[in-house]
Amino acid sequence: MKYVSTRGQAPAVTASQAILNGIAPDGGLYVPEKWPELVLDWSVLKTQTYADLATLIFDAFFDDFSVSEIDYIIKKAYGKQWETDNVVSFHEENKLTYVELFHGPTLAFKDVALQALPHLMTTAAKKQAINDKIVILTATSGDTGTAAMSGFGDVSQTEIVVFYPEEGVSEIQRQQMQTEAADNAHVIAITGNFDDAQKAVKSLLADEALAKDLKAAGLQFSSANSINIGRLVPQIVYYIYAYAQLIKDEKIQAGDEINIVVPTGNFGNVLAAYYASQIGLPVKQFVVASNENNVLTDFFTTGKYDRKRQFKVTNAPAMDILVSSNLERLLYFASGQNSDEIQAYMRALVENGEYTIKPDTRANLTQFIAAFATQDQVADTISKIANTTNYTIDPHTAVGRYVYEQIGVTGPTLIAATASPYKFAETVLQALDMTPESGQAALDQLSKATETEIPIQIATLFNKPVRHKQLISPNQMSSTLRHAIF
Ligand SMILES: *Cc1c(COP(=O)(O)O)cnc(C)c1O
């Protein structure tokens, strides 16, 4: 199976090359040339473990990896670091099923993919006979950085460098980053916001002199961002697994269509649900839920993508984003794999800050509906769900839960529960009308208020020594990076 660029100007590559490259050389994103042919026999799938399904999906999409390589990767990714036996767990609220994706090491859904990606990458490097050490460089608003460090931490032949904004990460996230113990992890705070960090990282990744110096030192950059196909494919698995469990629990019958609600930022998670539908998952509607950075809501309601608006820092910060990169992959398929059309949209986005899709392309997006939640609506939703159903959700999941009700989807529905409420304890406590304390005390407060246990992953977080205290300005990022890795 080959992967091609959405922009059509780069050679087709194998899965392992696509994983190593991250982004295609023409600036496009790698997509499967055609969908793998899978027979999803639900009577069998409903009896299988998460790891079994992950093996099925990885084998299909990463077909230049051997069976034993995939087995090794799955074993590494979905083992004892998970609090649950089968990676995800479920919570029912009438016809709505929360798929809890946050039982991994850093308490957010990005762990599902980022526990696998380092092993996909190092295996891919071996296959391609690349001896360079892989340097993962990332800017994070919190969840990507912690999940990437947990995944790449102490994986040989890799270095990981994370820049995060001094303001705008939760206290738990900051503590997770500052106490990271892996020898190959470099964690640096920058003054400014996430956008500043992101811009600087993009220019470092495009810096040719830097790339040359890296090469000479036996190093090369790769991306742990969700533009990497190695991030996307692992996320297909939980939609298939969740559907199989609904059948097993007799909530639906094989073949019944379901809705999927996804709190969305870079459009990776909801795109994975779409990929699942393309290989046989019966989906009625995809519900794209945004926060006040509601570019996607406007896009799906009007057909016009317009990034020219104020960036807002919200209480669901992992979704604070104005350019949802993975939308390009959806549009590629909606346009009938028309790379010229995609190129034109992406050029317009850079040059004019906006583009409007063709009616024919838009007509292929009717399964997608979108809406957004304000910060107050997020807080109200957390409080309402806690009070009426005794279940506490995090602010990102609350965006999805609000939109689910507002749009009024009916029938069996999955909602991606993307983070543990403990990761955003301060926001959740405020929503529950409490005055948040800080550090360990806030965790204790939340545990008491919700009658739930503090997740084992962070039970001793505030006892760990702080190892990373460096704070720099964005214009020092290049020299700091060189100092960290050379
Ligand atoms: C990253 C993240 C999201 C957004 O996911 P995308 O794949 O970028 O759309 C939502 N919620 C949480 C908690 C996240 O960390």
- For the stretch 92-143, pLDDT in tens is 999 999 999 999 999 999 999 999 999 999 999 999 999 999 999 998 888 8
Could you tell me the residue range of the domain that residue 247 belongs to?
89-105+232-450
Of all protein residues, the one whose alpha carbon is nearest to atom 1 of ligand 1 is 318
Kindly state whether residue 257 falls inside one of the protein's structural domains: yes
- For the stretch 313-346, pLDDT in tens is 899 999 999 989 999 999 999 999 999 999 999 9
Domain total in the chain: 1
Average pLDDT of the chain, as a whole number: 96
Kindly state whether residue 334 falls inside one of the protein's structural domains: yes
Q: How confident is the model at residue 385 (pLDDT cuts 50, 70, 90)?
A: very high
Kindly state whether residue 253 falls inside one of the protein's structural domains: yes
Kindly state whether residue 250 falls inside one of the protein's structural domains: yes
φ, ψ of residue 160 in degrees (nearest 5): -130, 125
Of all protein residues, the one whose alpha carbon is nearest to atom 14 of ligand 1 is 318
- For the stretch 245-254, pLDDT in tens is 999 999 999 9
Residue 396 Cβ inside 6 Å of ligand 1? The answer reads yes
Cβ atoms of 90 and 83 within 8 Å: the answer is no
> C-alpha distances in angstroms, 464 versus 188, 384, 424, 439, 460?
18, 35, 19, 12, 7
Tokens of 367: 């399964």
Residue 197 Cβ inside 6 Å of ligand 1? The answer reads no
Kindly state whether residue 286 falls inside one of the protein's structural domains: yes
Distance of CA 319 from the midpoint of ligand 1 (Å):
6
Kindly state whether residue 189 falls inside one of the protein's structural domains: no
Identify the CATH number of the domain in which residue 340 sits.
3.40.50.1100
Spell out the residues 6+ positions from residue 388 whose beta carbon is closer than 8 angstroms to its own: none
Kindly state whether residue 413 falls inside one of the protein's structural domains: yes
Residue 329 Cβ inside 6 Å of ligand 1? The answer reads no
> C-alpha distances in angstroms, 8 versus 39, 48, 326, 435?
29, 38, 16, 53
Chain mean position to CA 354: 24
Of 18, 225, 264, give the one whose Cα is nearest residue 114: 225
Kindly state whether residue 46 falls inside one of the protein's structural domains: no
Indicate which atom in ligand 1 lies nearest the CA of residue 110.
Answer: 15
- Taking the alpha carbons at both ends of the chain, their separation in whole angstroms is 37
